[in-house]
A and B are shown apart, each in its own frame.
Chain A
């Protein structure tokens, strides 16, 4: 039987009286793409932030490869192999695309207390950076400033940076957000490719993409999972239909 790479047990998070994560349990198997869907405000981004370490949960535990990481700071989790792409694009606008990705490579390689030698022509950084860019298909934009990219390209850059961290688990927070139909389809293809190499926790509103990519789907409502199962099971689950898909979804 496959072992879970990520295990979430009874996670709790409250904001000033509002329950954002409510006794949530979930796991992601090695090599699996597990999608989390749910209406706005269900607590999906809050969940991702707790997994990445930006927010710290009020209760429950998170295990990564069997190790309890609930209290590990965000930067250490990144080194363990958890990479997040942000819902609202988070890049370095004044660096070129290549520099953005090279920075992710550099961060992955350990400490950066190297004071001399130009990082800009360091093949240890640029090689892996170009590889990650090739995987996502943004290599042709290497020398463009990140602030000059189109929205779709920024989303791709986001992903390339996540890959450059050589992760075992990708936390993707709405990778298709704000994309046009064509861009979205291209991104679905990119993700279908990545799916072969990484375990993925995917939060996404685009149901076509979710049903095309996910091995399993969990439905999140008001901070808790109301159903987990294969795409087929979820499609036919009456509770899910009532709570979520039924409302014109």
Chain B
């Protein structure tokens, strides 16, 4: 999915040009359950479910990071909010005790949309404060908000505190059991593809163009008669909402949530995924998520001190891989105009 710009003729004819790494990547991801069955290796499907869900976050984050120029360090926090919404409602369903006046529920058809709405609200409030600033201030404030959300869930003793919360109720989606490994994997893959299409439409819409223009030259956007704050805030809320969706899926897939899901290290991991993937394309972040999740899963097999090579890899990426992985596959600029 190239991020197109107007050209002499057909924008639609060039729709898929340059997107082949993404298509190949999605096709390979679709094969994982088959491979997992073939090698009788259920770990594979678990690992790649993680890849898919983190990829959703990375794509959503890159919408504000790569296209909006906003370095958010609180997407782990938003992810956790979505996850806890699903988990807390499931706990109340299992216990039979209402949450204030609301009954709990294990129906994901209710809890996932709720996760999206609640996370969007948190993004709206935190964005309204942090977007009043810019640059380094924005990075530090979002990092602080991430930590605030982390401590909030650590302090919630009722839902496991620091140890986290197991989901014992059996989750369903309006009566359908989607939590079986393979089903859940394909559901996650479908959500990822839908999210990629959504953001691809967004970055080429009038809205997305204002966002991208603001990242390039905010002063000029104001002079053209646009007040950019509303657009940045809307983008942050949309990105947050999708991240909440991913969090909800995460809770459903793991049947477990904990404050560790919100740690600031993970917030930084998400940023690494987006940067590594290549920030100028919607699909780049998927490649970043694949590589980072696999590294984090495989490195500990070789050494107990795996964070050191991981940290060095992060540093090398910043120094040497300016265009990200997407830039390695597709050398032309982010456009279908050529």
Contacts and interface: CB of A to CB of B under 8 A. Distances in A.
Given A115-B207, A118-B4, A120-B11, A95 B213 contact: yes
In this complex, the member of B11, B207, B231 whose beta carbon has the largest number of chain A beta carbons within 10 angstroms is: B207
11 contacts: A73-B227, A86-B220, A90-B219, A92-B220, A96-B337, A99-B5, A113-B206, A116-B201, A118-B201, A120-B5, A121-B11
Interface residues of A, number: 45
A54 B226 contact: no
Nearest to B11: A121
In this complex, the member of A52, A86, A103, A114 whose beta carbon has the largest number of chain B beta carbons within 10 angstroms is: A103
Interface string A137-163: 000001101000000000000000100
A121 B6 contact: yes
A94 B8 CA distance: 18
Nearest to B226: A107
Given A91-B220, A120-B11, A78 B209 contact: no
In this complex, the member of A74, A112, A116 whose beta carbon has the largest number of chain B beta carbons within 10 angstroms is: A112
A112 B224 contact: no
B128 to A, nearest CB: 17
A93 interface: yes
A95 B210 CA distance: 12
B204 A107 contact: no
Given A90-B217, A91-B217, A95-B213, A165 B205 contact: no
B223 A84 contact: yes
Contacts of A142: 6, 8
Interface in B118-144: none
A74 B209 contact: no
A119 interface: yes
Contacts of B217: 90-93
Interface in A47-90: 52, 54, 73-79, 83-84, 86, 90
A112 to B, nearest CB: 4
In this complex, the member of B217, B226, B234, B333 whose beta carbon has the largest number of chain A beta carbons within 10 angstroms is: B226
Contacts of B12: 121
A11 interface: no
A168 interface: no
Contacts of B34: none
In this complex, the member of B4, B207, B209, B224 whose beta carbon has the largest number of chain A beta carbons within 10 angstroms is: B224
B202 interface: yes
A29 interface: no
Given A78-B222, A96-B7, 11 more contacts: A90-B217, A96-B335, A114-B206, A116-B202, A118-B11, A118-B201, A120-B4, A121-B6, A121-B12, A125-B206, A143-B337
A75 B220 contact: no
A108 interface: yes
A126 B5 CA distance: 11
A224 to B, nearest CB: 26
Given A112-B207, A121-B11, A95 B226 contact: no
Interface of B: 4-8, 11-12, 201-202, 204-210, 212-213, 216-217, 219-227, 231, 234, 333-335, 337
Contact of A120 (B6, B220, B221, B227): B6
A112 B223 contact: no
A21 B189 CA distance: 61
A51 B8 CA distance: 37
B333 A92 contact: no
A116 B209 CA distance: 11
A117 B201 CA distance: 7
A73 B225 CA distance: 9
A120 B204 CA distance: 7
Nearest 6 CB-CB pairs, A to B? Answer: A78-B225, A107-B224, A114-B206, A112-B206, A120-B6, A75-B227
B61 to A, nearest CB: 18
Nearest to B338: A143
A112 B234 contact: no
A52 B223 contact: yes
Nearest to B220: A90
A139 to B, nearest CB: 12
A104 B217 CA distance: 13
A112 B226 contact: yes
A113 B234 contact: yes
A102 B205 contact: no
Given A112-B207, A114-B207, A118-B205, A92 B213 contact: yes
A234 interface: no
Nearest to B228: A75
A108 B202 CA distance: 20
A98 B224 CA distance: 15
Nearest to A92: B216
B15 to A, nearest CB: 10
A126 B11 CA distance: 13
B206 A96 contact: no
Nearest to A108: B225
Contacts of A118: 4, 11, 201, 204-205
A96 B6 contact: yes
Contacts of B334: 94
A94 B66 CA distance: 13
